[in-house]
């Protein structure tokens, strides 16, 4: 069954060279292979595939979430800000915002941002 296999989040981008600058230079991801028409990145125990497509950035929902330990969350947020990331805020029941970071109760924290093509990425405390 599919539940026995690790999924690979897949993100469409308009310009692969620009995307590589963002994912490698700003987010600090390291290529883990270059299949035809894209780049594979190792991210924790999974991988992320980035490829060029005319449909890049058309998803208006969260495309990828990175889960980090609670004790590393603030440092990751600051590293992203230092890389020029601007966090997004929005209205949603149960969220309390402080400087671009959402609190969801029980100590859960989350922050959303976009890549250069508008793909929405999320950083959240591992639960």
How does pLDDT run across 71-123, given as a tens digit for each residue? Answer: 999 999 999 999 999 999 998 888 999 999 999 878 899 999 999 999 999 99
Residue 2 above 80 pLDDT?
no
pLDDT score recorded for residue 38: 94
Tokens 């980090």 sit at which residue? 68
- Of all helices (H) and strands (E), which one includes residue 20? helix 16-20
Mean pLDDT, range 20-46, rounded to an integer: 92
Contact in structure between 88 and 60 (CB atoms under 8 Å): no
Secondary structure letter of residue 2 according to DSSP: G
CATH architecture of 2-125: Roll (3.10)
Give the strand order in the sheet containing 46-52.
10-13, 46-52, 39-43
pLDDT score recorded for residue 57: 86
pLDDT single digits (tens) 47-81: 999 999 999 989 889 999 999 999 999 999 999 99
Tokens for 107, please give them: 């100590």
Q: Taking the chain, what is the end-to-end CA distance rounded to the nearest angstrom?
A: 25
pLDDT score recorded for residue 62: 92
Mean pLDDT, range 2-10, rounded to an integer: 81
């Amino acid at each position: 069954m599919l539940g026995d296999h690790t999924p690979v989040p897949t993100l469409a981008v308009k310009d692969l060279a620009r995307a590589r600058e963002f994912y490698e230079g700003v987010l600090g991801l390291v290529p883990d292979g270059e299949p035809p028409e894209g780049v594979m990145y190792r991210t924790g125990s999974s991988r992320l595939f980035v490829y060029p497509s005319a449909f890049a950035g058309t998803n208006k929902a969260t495309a990828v979430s990175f889960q980090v330990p609670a004790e590393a969350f603030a440092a990751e947020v600051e590293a992203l800000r230092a890389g020029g990331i601007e966090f997004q805020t929005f209205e949603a029941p149960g969220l309390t915002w402080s400087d671009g970071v959402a609190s969801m109760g029980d100590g859960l924290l989350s922050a959303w941002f976009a890549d250069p093509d508008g793909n929405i990425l999320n950083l959240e405390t591992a639960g």
